[in-house]
Structure 1
Amino acid sequence: MKISARNTLKGKVTGLVPGAVNTEVALEVAPGVTVVAIITKSSAESLGLAEGKEVYAVIKSSDVMVAVD
């Protein structure tokens, strides 16, 4: 796989919540660390996503904000 995004996190699908249009996908990328993404339902189906499947979270953004209290 070659992509232009510089931030990829390998993980395992731990949960799927399908909706009418979108699916919420939870990925465990490290012990106790979960990344949640919202993707189209059709994309989730075409990728064959299921709990336990190994996948990559690909993060491409021109801005990342950091805040503190």
Structure 2
Amino acid sequence: MKLSARNQLPGRVTTITPGAVNATVKVDIGGGMTVTASITGEAIADLALAEGDSVTVVIKASDVLIGK
């Protein structure tokens, strides 16, 4: 699958924490960094997502904020 988003980070799923509707998915992208995403339980089922899976984190946002 090709995507127009340029911010694509390969990683490995480390944790999936289910919730009532959404779940939190943590992805280790290397260098001691983790990306956390909130996605629906339905999306997790559709992707057959499991801890240890190799995935690509795709970031597509109209706003990017930086704080210090």
- Compute the TM-score of the two structures, normalised by the length of structure 2: 0.94
Partner-residue secondary structure (3-state), 1:44 = helix
Residue by residue over 1:11-69, the C-alpha shift from the partner in whole angstroms, topping out at 9 and shown as x without a partner, is: 0000000111111000000141100000011001110111100001100011111121x
Amino acid at match of 1:33: M
> Shift in Å at residue 6 of structure 1?
1.0
Q: Alignment partner of 2:9: what SS?
A: strand
Find out whether 1:2 has 2:2 as its counterpart: yes
Q: Which runs of 4+ in 1 moved over 2 A?
A: none
Partner residue of 1:60? 60
5+ long unaligned stretches in structure 2: none
Q: Cα RMSD over matched residues?
A: 0.8
Aligned residue pairs, count: 68
> Which secondary structure does the structure 2 equivalent of 1:67 belong to?
coil
